[in-house]
Structure 1
Amino acid sequence: LHPRPKPQPPPHPEAAEATIDVMSLAEYEAPYREIWNFFQSQNPGIKVNVFSINEDTAAAHEAKVAGGYLPAIELTQEMQIFFDKSNYEMAVDLSEIPFDWWDRWQFDVKNSWSDLHGLSGPRSLDFFQGFAMTWQYNKELMDQAGLDPQVDVQSWDDLKKWMDEGTAWAAATDGVDWFYNQAWHNWIFGNNYTDCLPLAFEDGQRARQVDCWLGKAKFNAEDSPYRHYYDFFVEANEKGWMPPDMTTRQWEGDMEASYIAGKSVMMLHGPWVWDKALAAGSDFAVNDMQSGIPATPPAENQGTWMQSALPPNIDNQWFIRAGNEETPYWDQTVFAWNWFFSPEAVPIRAQAEGRVPLYDLDEPLDLQGPQFQQVLKEIGTPGGKWEAAQFEQAQTGNVLAGPFRKKGSKGVWDWESNGNNEVMANVLSGKITVQEALDIAQANWDESFEGLPTG
């Protein structure tokens, strides 16, 4: 954190007034609207229409784009776009437009994607630490249950005992539907939980996961790191920790809504619902009674408590769709894009989302996001609640194997088409075994990747 000479952004467009459409993450549309209002107050010649989509409206948005609609700035998240050789030309090559802030990133954002894929780019930008899935709970209900996981949960066995005790309490308590509420989300199960849950185990660490993706180990081996992913949900299902119809439950409508309403005690989730509960005015959230713990306390023989975070995004998030270069408002789009990633805008955006920016700022940032305040800032910090814990945020096997994936293939977990839902449902119902689920993953890998380096 240090003052430095500020590069000059692209000259302010002198053309006539322009209107550009800019997408926002739905959960944070209100603060992003304020962020762009601030931009407009400084640049009255550029009007910004802020909009958002969610999982239910993403297909309609893409159909609108196919019909000719061309927003200036978009976000991949709800469209579940990840840029690779099959689709990178849909986005502008960001290395070819004027941009002043490359040296602010704390990783090589300008070249990482291109070096990995051997293609010109990058095609998207993001400056945040990757999403971390942590246990998030309503502390009012947790206190009523007589449970204190920040003290009592120090190992994987402790976590299972906590689940048993909390589940029994919820079953005996009127007005509480679930202790641990879980619902289905193809991306969360296909890109988050798969790499997160194995980290509780010595043989589940990310390096071993990467070996599976790069062909150095098998997804269906007896010691597969991914066996732990399925084993957790099998046990959660058999012991009644989670709802029995988990794979048919709606992520927002059944799980998040129940937590926000104070009818479920906890979830394994990212930063979003901490903020949603506050925005909804939930009493427990407003009263600062949300808390949590890192996701995967160590099992036997795993010495360190690891907290998974997705790696910094190099293949997704904010992008400019190809075709914008030909619009009459292109200069305004480039100007707005530069401001959006400037040292002026980044700290405001970081506060809006409550996430750590991997970006050198001019002034220290006192980040106030509730997940960060309650859990993430306490990990690996001297004097923190989990000072001996560590983040695992290296690149995942999914990202590293990305350049070798065949166009149109399923990928290992077949999550894009929601094929992972059927596999999980069949595992939980006993229709197939965990071994058979891992056999499917290995077969999918065999069919989906080619040209990986050997040796």
Structure 2
Amino acid sequence: MFKRIICVLFAASFSFALFAGGSQEAEAGSVAAGSDKAVTIEFVATQPEYLEQDKQIWELYMEENPNVTIKVTSLNEDQQTAFLARIAANEGPAIMANGFPGADKSTYKTFVNLLDIDYPYWDQLSYDGKTLFETETGIADYVPGIQLFNTFNFSFLFYEDEMEKAGLNPTAIRTWDDVDNFLAELKVYVDKTDSLEYVLDTGWHSWVWGLCLPNILSLSLGASIQDLEDLYLGKIAWTDIENNPMVPFFEKLKDYYQKGYLPKNWLGRDWENEFEAGFINRKSILTLHGPWIWNKVLAADPSAQLGGVPFPAGKDGKLAAYPVTTYQSSAILAQYEGTEDFDEIVKAFIWYNSPEVSEMRAQFTGSKPNFKTLSSNFTIDSPQYVSVVKPAMEGAFGSGLSWDNSTWGVTAAGPYKIEGKADVLQDDALSDPIGKYFNDEMSLEDLMDMYQKRWENAYTF
């Protein structure tokens, strides 16, 4: 059972952060000591769910820099169109914890090249922050963002007390046969329980169902990282039903859909206002999600008893996790370069993306910071991490398991992506053909032929 997790900034952290803020002023060399010019910097929070925690962290910075006001805002998905209009009009925020739109070949110049700001922690990163964007896109000598967190994890999430009422134990899941049997038993319970509407709850989200879960669940179902790379590099055709590593993912989803485990309307179901709101209000007791909904549930009901279990391990005991990427990483918008406030913006950005502050941020992101050295007493107390991520590494869900955040095939093919072309899998328009496949209005062969054509349109080798 978890109570609501709040980012508590202890006095020791407070002192440490103030010390870090002072030292970075010297390292960045950008603002004269004792500057008293009033500056307001808009910052977009890591996630809307973490708005208050980010505000608490920035309070530390403003204590040390009283001339600076950090205006902490958030960006919900239904605000993204208006937000893009702000950026187009050069009226965007200065700093984003997760740069939006994501940095790719078409958008990277929206963001400052961080190689130009004297960021003092490049050598302390646990990955090559200076070249990752080149690996992803083929564009050299440009870093539009820094990804300071090791990964985030998708897993099953459930209400422990409700599962106890149902007489079910999802923590015993180890294989996909276990998942199949568990869902069959849960459906029997849901069908006879008036308050429940769904077995495995979800909604449509093109990033989740068009990037994250196709890769993560394909790996869980037996594909390898090499298989995914071969698919995206053209060594395996999408139409090669026998060898396409994503075919089992689509077949599994169709099977679950036709058995009534997934909501009948899930491909047209709003992610936040229908799916997440419904799960928070217990219209279902099982879902699959990243760390964010844990915080949303506990914010709405601090007494909620949440539990989780990883998806079954793939090859070699690997639990697939989201890879480290510069896409939607911590960034400064380029519209502020050359402005009178730019030096203060850079100073604040460096402070927020320091090892010390990242340890504070880890308490709500639920992920280890990407720095080689962390404090000796560093721990993470976020709910998904405590319930799923850490126990998995400690053998709670089987021996020898480890999380793998290796990059996927889409990253390997990144340098060959044609600028402006649609992604193969990540597109809201794809909910319609996927729905036709689920409802036997399109064959698997025709669905894969569509993806093959999208791949041919998206890449040149």
Whole-Å separation in 1 of the counterparts to 2:389 and 2:345: 34
Whole-Å separation in 2 of the counterparts to 1:52 and 1:266: 28
Matches within 5 A, 1:43-442: 43-76=65-98, 79=100, 81-116=101-136, 117-151=138-172, 153-202=173-222, 204-222=223-241, 223-281=243-301, 283-284=303-304, 289-297=305-313, 304-359=316-371, 360-381=373-394, 383-413=395-425, 415-416=426-427, 418-442=428-452
Letter in 1 for 2:49: E
Over residues 286-318 of structure 1, what are the superposed CA-to-partner deviations in whole Å (9 max), with x where a residue is unaligned? xxx2111111356xxx6x443211111223322
Q: What SS class does the counterpart of residue 74 from structure 2 fall into? A: strand
CA positional deviation for 1:402: 1.4
Contact 2:147 2:370 in 1 (8 A): no
Letter in 2 for 1:140: D
Whole-Å separation in 2 of the counterparts to 1:387 and 1:129: 22
CA positional deviation for 1:15: 5.4
TM-score of the two chains, using structure 1 as the length reference: 0.90
Q: What SS class does the counterpart of residue 48 from structure 1 fall into? A: strand
Whole-Å separation in 1 of the counterparts to 2:269 and 2:317: 30
Q: What SS class does the counterpart of residue 326 from structure 1 fall into? A: coil
Which residue pairs with 2:6 in the alignment? none
When residues 348 and 52 of structure 1 are mapped into structure 2, their CA distance, relative to the original with a 3 A threshold, is same
CA positional deviation for 1:380: 3.3
Letter in 2 for 1:426: K
Letter in 2 for 1:23: V
CA positional deviation for 1:87: 2.2
Whole-Å separation in 2 of the counterparts to 1:384 and 1:140: 20
CA positional deviation for 1:351: 0.7
Contact 1:76 1:316 in 2 (8 A): yes
Over residues 434-454 of structure 1, what are the superposed CA-to-partner deviations in whole Å (9 max), with x where a residue is unaligned? 222111111111111012xxx
Segments of structure 1 that go 5 or more residues without pairing to the other structure are: none
Matched residues, number: 433
Whole-Å separation in 1 of the counterparts to 2:274 and 2:402: 32
CA RMSD of aligned residues (A): 2.0
Whole-Å separation in 2 of the counterparts to 1:371 and 1:136: 9
TM-score of the two chains, using structure 2 as the length reference: 0.89
When residues 102 and 297 of structure 1 are mapped into structure 2, their CA distance, relative to the original with a 3 A threshold, is closer
CA positional deviation for 1:76: 4.4
Contact 2:152 2:366 in 1 (8 A): no
Whole-Å separation in 2 of the counterparts to 1:86 and 1:65: 14
Which residue pairs with 2:4 in the alignment? none
When residues 130 and 220 of structure 1 are mapped into structure 2, their CA distance, relative to the original with a 3 A threshold, is farther
Identical pairs, percent: 25
